[in-house]
Structure 1
Amino acid sequence: MKVLLLHGGPGATYESFKPFEDHFPQAGIEFFYYDQLDSYLSDQPNDPDLWTIAAALSEVDQVREALGLDADNFYLYGQSWGAMLAMEYALAHQDHIKGLIISNMMASIPAYIDYSKNVLQPQMDPDVLKEILGYEAAGISRTRATWSC
């Protein structure tokens, strides 16, 4: 069994997967993690033309191909943003994977926005929420929050 791990973000890092090192090898699972383009240790072209689902899917497929992963043994694991990317990959390339593992993500952006507004935001410090919503209204973001298809 071989697992390719897709981290969250966009812009996060592979580091959240480090604990897998203590468990997967003992179970005979070979795994691979990497930082996606513009994330932590990867190349940093900072080119918005590359911030598309199509470009991210191409990157995952290039990594899969370079590692020699195929439908006989290849499982794709995605966490948060990586889970969304993994779902998109599975839809586009289901002939290349044996299985899909989704962690910590809703499959519906409208449902997540509703959850954020009605569950998460009411629990936040009102001053912090006001500041965040102000940044959002002004189009200011610390991460690439607007991906296009």
Structure 2
Amino acid sequence: MPPSSAPPGSGVRSIPVRTDFGTFEVWTRRSGASPHLKLLLLHGGPGCTHEYFEVFDGFLPQAGIELYFYDQLGSFHSSQPDHADLWEIGRFVDEVEQVRQALALDGSNFFLLGHSWGGILAIEYALRYQQYLKRLIISNMVWSVPEYNRYAEDRFMCQLPAGVLAEL
């Protein structure tokens, strides 16, 4: 549901994110409540959505975990700016920090879970801002980007049309 049409009390919130190309909105949704354990979820992609994390709604809030679903800039409910320079890891790290600040997460309660691309983003975030993290959780991330790139070149990239490959 887009943030503008979210029902009151739904936990949906748009957070402004400042970039070199202007200010955009990212979508978040809180589920559950806990003063001690707040879990921000970083989805895969970049460009995927929070939706595959929604299964957590069925059990984590009941276990005392406050969840924050979040669509990164360029994903699903969030702004979709058309600036190739926004697809840089450092910019995404800045975005996560702005989201953390807006949600008032801190080193006493902030758990960060990154899945796939979100795991790479979570590690980069932790390297820059570990003082704000209580725990870091990495799920299903490639163990070596250079090794994965070699694998992708050998198995996938050779099958792509030249125009698609140039865009990637």
TM-score, normalized by the shorter chain, greater than 0.5: yes
Distance in 2 between residues matched to 1:113 and 1:51, nearest whole Å: 18
Distance in 2 between residues matched to 1:54 and 1:89, nearest whole Å: 9
Counting aligned pairs with the same residue, the percent is 51
Where does structure 1 differ by over 4 angstroms across 4 or more consecutive aligned residues?
114-118
Matches within 5 A, 1:41-56: 41-56=77-92
Q: 1:23 aligned to 2:47?
A: no
**Amino acid in the other structure paired with 2:127:** L
TM-score normalised per structure 1: 0.80
Distance in 2 between residues matched to 1:135 and 1:115, nearest whole Å: 14
Residue in 2 that maps onto 1:6:
42
Q: 1:87 aligned to 2:123?
A: yes
Higher helix share: 1
Calculate the aligned-residue CA RMSD, in Å. Answer: 1.9
**Amino acid in the other structure paired with 1:58:** D
Structure with larger RCO (C-alpha < 8 A, sep 6+):
1
Distance in 1 between residues matched to 2:143 and 2:101, nearest whole Å: 26
Q: Is the 8 A contact 1:84 1:107 kept in 2?
A: no
**Amino acid in the other structure paired with 1:74:** F
Q: Is the 8 A contact 1:74 1:96 kept in 2?
A: yes
Give ranges in structure 1 of 5+ residues lacking alignment: 122-128
**Amino acid in the other structure paired with 2:146:** P
Distance in 2 between residues matched to 1:47 and 1:116, nearest whole Å: 25
**Amino acid in the other structure paired with 2:164:** I
* SS of the residue 2:106 aligns to: coil
Residue among 115, 140, 143 paired with 2:164: 140
Higher strand share: 2
Residue in 1 that maps onto 2:14:
none
Residue in 2 that maps onto 1:125:
none
Distance in 1 between residues matched to 2:66 and 2:113, nearest whole Å: 13
Residue in 2 that maps onto 1:36:
72
Q: How many residue pairs align between the two structures? A: 131
Distance in 2 between residues matched to 1:108 and 1:46, nearest whole Å: 29
Give ranges in structure 2 of 5+ residues lacking alignment: 1-36
